[in-house]
Amino acid sequence: MTSPLPSRFPYAPGSDGTPRLVYGADYNPEQWPREVWEEDVRLMREAGVNTVSVGIFSWARLQPARNTWDFGWLDELMELLHAGGIGVDLATATASPPPWLTTAHPEILPVTASGETVWPGARQHWRPTSPVFRTHALRLVRELATRYADHPALVAWHINNELGCHNAYDYSDDAARAFRTWLRHRYTTLDALNHAWGTAFWSQRYSDWEQILPPRLAASHPNPTQQLDFKRFSSDALKEHLRAERDVLREITPDIPVTSNFMVMGGTKGMNYADWAAEVDFVSNDHYTQPGPQDRDELSFSANLTSAIAGHRPWFLMEHSTSAVNWQPVNLAKKPGELARDSLLHLAHGADAICFFQWRQSAAGAEKYHSAMVPHAGPDSEVFRAVTDLGRTLEALASVAGAAREPARVGILFDWDSWWASEQDSHPTARLDYRQEALDWYSALLALGVRADVITPATDPGAYDLLIAPVLHVVPEALAKELTRYAETGGHLVTTYFSGVVDENDHVWLGGYPGALRELLGIRIEEFGPLLDGDTVELDNSTTGGLWTDRITVDGPEVEVLARYRSGTYANRPAVTRRPTGRGSATYVSTRLGTDGLAALLPELLGRAGVESELPESARGRVETVVRRDTESRYLFLVNRTEEPVPLPGLTGDLLAGGAEQGAGAELVLPPRGVAVLRSPVTS
């Protein structure tokens, strides 16, 4: 297991100096008169809040003009918080450039693919590659770091805010210049770039680096490798900004840990966080649920993936909501119990800090209808009572701080390159949804009561008995070899439609699909058979496929056909195949089965890999389990996924917290939306 305690995680110390879970919020006191601050600190203490993020959108207040600084209010606030025993995760305040800067330097404003300027008026209106923006941002970072370097309230630095939330793609001339530099670094020669981009096609051959542009609005589909490289470049450009701010902070305050809040959640695609994680001292994430049939599963999936990004070390939940947000078409309030359940599910997946956006609900501005820990109604409210209850629960769970997530036996591989490449335009279908396919596998495992880890390419696949790699579209030669070795040394690999098809340059592996994985899977596909919206095909294992089919020819005598198409163009041909590879196997699923279909298929795949649910049969599908452990204790988190009470016969341990009731005969009963944490001693 990975070393559990990241030495640079800002645990809030308890009264006896032992690590406690962090509890807090974004705190924006500049929106409030001074007298409210005292009440804020008093209420924070009442709620058990021990850490707040300050200054995230304070640039205009801290630096009202180019050479005018105003730190007085922040000095006072830092003192007040410190006196109240509350630590500060201090933002570098660079997320929203002030009007004086954008007026003097409109050349820092981002430009869309069709050449429109993204004007000030909201936030994050800056080009990640603007040298002018960089100079001003780093000047602010230096001032802040120097001023607060030795402040006792300072527990961590918070770089910018959700880098790329609104400015992930910028097509400006600055971006064009930086893109060329990035490409020179990647390819060295123009010949190599011309080859990688396949510029023999449509007369796109470049004879000078200066001719290369971002994939701006074009007459038809821009070059696919140019598009893919621009995605890689854009993620790197934001990462570069993160590094630049971090380097200033490390120079001035080498002992203060640095983080930046990621957005591992549905709807965010632009930033390759698996690749960013090494740049920060601890990983932080923001997560907001979006109502839908899989919203609970999506929260779990994102938290699980964040844990992998963090190298399976504890991480910081920097933001989530106490109740409604303001940016969805309809913003639902959370139901009773949801605030705690969402928080504890993040905790179960390795979050040692549970924080919200934001502390006090704004009275003005675009987020005035976004919930907070102290709502418009004030502290005499259900939300604030739920907030203080959660504070007490987190105190009861303090011993979990630092415990690692216990690895599951099933891994789901999540790969940004395949995500970006598989969803590009000019493909067999425009309907493919990479994250949804991965989430469906995860939901199916939850439905069967089987724990799984969502992992990144940096995770060792050898740790998993069953490795599911949905839509693993980009397979460079080295990855094909690694997966072959995995399966040949006893691992059970499962992959799906549109996998193995291209290399890292988005060039098709020739000779038949699934290209790089053809031999391993022992099948050959000559043509894809995507389905029109609403069209489905029946399989002979009583499941139904959508989105995609493949015309599969079995290419090896030992390959088993686990299911055939019963209807559609490929009726009677194989739909799901499995090739034994010594002690392991390689399975291919050629259609989108959805959660129910996958839940029907998975028992066979799990059975062959020897993986079973750890839950009593009656609780499978109704309860999610996650395990954390340290050298002394194993913490079993049991999360009720339903709106009904769920009895948990046979599960024992020391019930630490989470609103479960002991039913008749000491049987544990999880209330609707409830969470229980059972601690048992580690025996081996």
> Could you give the residue numbers annotated as active site?
162, 319
Site for ligand GAL contains 370 (CB under 6 A): yes
Nearest-approach distance from CB 154 to ligand GAL, in angstroms: 21
Torsion of CA 645, 320, 264, 594, to 10 degrees: 30
| 346 binds ligand GAL per the rule CB under 6 A | no
Nearer to ligand GAL, 132 or 324 (CB): 324
Give the dihedral of Cα atoms 14, 17, 22, 27; nearest 10 deg. Answer: 80
Q: Considering beta carbons, is residue 323 or 424 the nearer one to ligand GAL?
A: 323
Give me the residue label for tokens 């770039």: 193
| Nearby residues of 333 by Cβ (< 8 Å), 6 or more positions away | 323, 324, 371
How open is the CA angle 84-85-89, to the nearest 5 degrees?
A: 105
Among 97-105, 159-167, 297-305, 399-407, the segment contacting ligand GAL (CB under 6 A):
159-167
Q: DSSP 3-state assignment of 20?
A: strand
Residue closer to ligand GAL, measured from CB, 370 or 473: 370
Spatial separation of the C-alpha atoms in residues 62 and 25, rounded to whole Å: 21
Q: What's the DSSP call for residue 332?
A: P
Q: What angle do CA 273, 245, 121 make, to 5 degrees?
A: 85
Q: CB-hemisphere CA count at 13 Å for 662?
A: 9
Q: Which of 102, 161, 268, 456 binds ligand GAL (CB under 6 A)?
A: 161
Binding residue count for ligand GAL, defined by CB under 6 A:
10
Among 60, 138, 165, 324, binds ligand GAL (CB under 6 A): 165
Handedness of CA 545, 549, 553, 559 (dihedral sign): negative
Question: Which is nearer to ligand GAL, 209 or 369 (by Cβ)?
Answer: 369
User: In this complex, which beta carbon is closest to ligand GAL, that of residue 359 or of residue 548?
Assistant: 359
The nearest distance, CB 288 to ligand GAL, in angstroms, is 6
Selection from 370, 630, 579, 605 nearest residue 465 by Cα: 605
Pick from 179, 357, 384, 548: which binds ligand GAL (CB under 6 A)?
A: 357
Binding residue for ligand GAL (CB under 6 A) from 132, 213, 324, 325? Answer: 325
* Token duo for residue 510: 């020739």
Rounded to the nearest whole angstrom, what is the least distance from the CB of residue 549 to ligand GAL in the complex?
39
Distance separating alpha carbons of residues 157 and 259, to the nearest angstrom: 6
Residue 370 vs 592, nearer CB to ligand GAL? 370
Does residue 288 interact with ligand GAL by CB under 6 A?
Answer: yes
Region of 111-119, 157-165, 182-190, 585-593 interacting with ligand GAL (CB under 6 A): 157-165
CA of 524: how far to CAs of 377, 381, 550, in Å?
63, 62, 10
The CB-of-42 to ligand GAL minimum distance in angstroms stands at: 24
Q: Say how far apart CA 128 and CA 174 lie, in whole Å.
A: 9
Q: Name the minimum Å distance from CB 167 to ligand GAL.
A: 13
Furthest C-alpha separation in the chain: 80
CB of 356 to ligand GAL, least distance (A): 10
* Contact present, 654 and 678 (Cβ < 8 Å): yes
Q: How is 484-509 classified by DSSP, letter by letter?
A: HHHHHTT-EEEEETT-S-B-TTSPBP
Q: For residues 120 and 574, which CB has a smaller minimum distance to ligand GAL in the complex?
A: 120
Q: For ligand GAL, which is the closer residue by CB, 27 or 197?
A: 27
The CB-of-82 to ligand GAL minimum distance in angstroms stands at 24
Least distance CB 357 / ligand GAL (angstroms): 4
Identity of the residue, 246 or 370, whose beta carbon is nearer to ligand GAL in the bound complex = 370
Q: Which helix (H) or strand (E) holds 190?
A: helix 190-196
Q: Of 357 and 420, which CB lies nearer to ligand GAL in the complex structure?
A: 357
Per CB under 6 A, does 384 bind ligand GAL? Answer: no
Is residue 126 within 8 A of residue 133, CB to CB? The reply is yes
Stretch 436-465: interaction string toward ligand GAL, x if CB under 6 A: ------------------------------
d(CA 642, CA 674): 9
Q: CA-CA distance, 126 to 107, in Å (whole number)?
A: 9
**Residue 288 vs 301, nearer CB to ligand GAL:** 288
DSSP 8-state assignment for residue 565: B
Candidate residues 281, 286, 338, 352; the one interacting with ligand GAL per rule CB under 6 A: 286
Cα distance between residue 610 and residue 412, in whole Å: 17
At 655, list the tokens.
């019930």
Q: Which two tokens stand for residue 505?
A: 């340059």
Q: Where does this chain touch ligand GAL (CB under 6 A) — which range of 160-168, 213-221, 409-417, 555-563?
A: 160-168
Min dist CB 113 to ligand GAL, Å, is: 23
Choices 37-45, 101-109, 158-166, 267-275; region in contact with ligand GAL by CB under 6 A: 158-166
Residue from 296, 332, 302 nearest 317 by CA? 302
On the CB side of 388, how many CA atoms lie within 13 Å of its CA? Answer: 13
**Amino acid at position 449, single letter:** G
Q: Looking at 24, 86, 159, 162, which residue binds ligand GAL (CB under 6 A)?
A: 162
Measured CA to CA, the distance from residue 646 to residue 438 in angstroms comes to 27
Task: Say if residue 514 is preceded by a cis peptide, omega within 30 of 0.
Answer: yes
The answer to whether 427 contacts ligand GAL (rule: CB under 6 A) is no
Smallest gap from Cβ 373 to ligand GAL, in A, equals 13
* The only residue of 275, 319, 417, 550 in contact with ligand GAL, by rule CB under 6 A: 319
- CB 308, min distance to ligand GAL, A: 22
Q: State the DSSP code for 333.
A: P
Residues within window 6-45 making contact with ligand GAL, judged by CB under 6 A? none
CB 646 within 8 A of CB 621: no
Q: Which residues bind ligand GAL (CB under 6 A)?
A: 161-162, 165, 286, 288, 319, 325, 357, 367, 370
